[in-house]
Amino acid sequence: MKTWILTAVLLVGFNVFAQHEGRGDRQRLTAEQRTELQVKKLTLELDLNDSQKANVQKLFLDKNKKVETAMAEHKQNREAGQKLTDDQKFEMKSKMLDEEITTKAEMKKILTKDQYEKWEKMRAEKKNKFEKRSKKYQKGNKR
């Protein structure tokens, strides 16, 4: 009987350890690496030419660097125990929406009409997928 209990405890312990092992060790990509992957993915999906690739890469690199600095600032504030006020949250959301409007306008200039429509459709699908995952997470049904 003791052997069965010991075996069950060990199996549960190994299982818990195996599930949490890879989560914290994941390496973050730099802004340049994320940009390169995004541009390659868009090139495959939208068949971008060389000038479009260069323009999209510049746009996404600027955007990714801004996100990186904002995330670093947010992390510092969180570690310092500072919480955002309602005005700061509003300002942050407003700034994010302004960035999104700017990105859409720039992409509209860079892409052809068909490419832009396909890009918009891809973004909508990605947003829906994210919202579904977010709802599952909020309900406690992770994965």
Angstrom CA distances, 46 to 38, 92, 126, stand at 12, 31, 16
Contacts of 60 (CB under 8 A, 6+ apart): 34, 35, 38, 39
Tokens of 122: 């891809």
Average pLDDT for 109-137: 90
pLDDT in tens, 35-80: 999 999 999 999 999 999 999 999 999 999 998 888 888 888 888 8
How much is the pLDDT for 136? 79
pLDDT in tens, 68-95: 888 888 888 888 888 888 888 899 899 9
Percent of the chain residues topping a pLDDT of 70: 79
Q: Assess contact for 126 and 86: CB atoms under 8 A.
A: no
Distance of alpha carbon 31 from alpha carbon 82, whole angstroms:
26
Confidence of residue 13 (pLDDT cuts 50, 70, 90): low
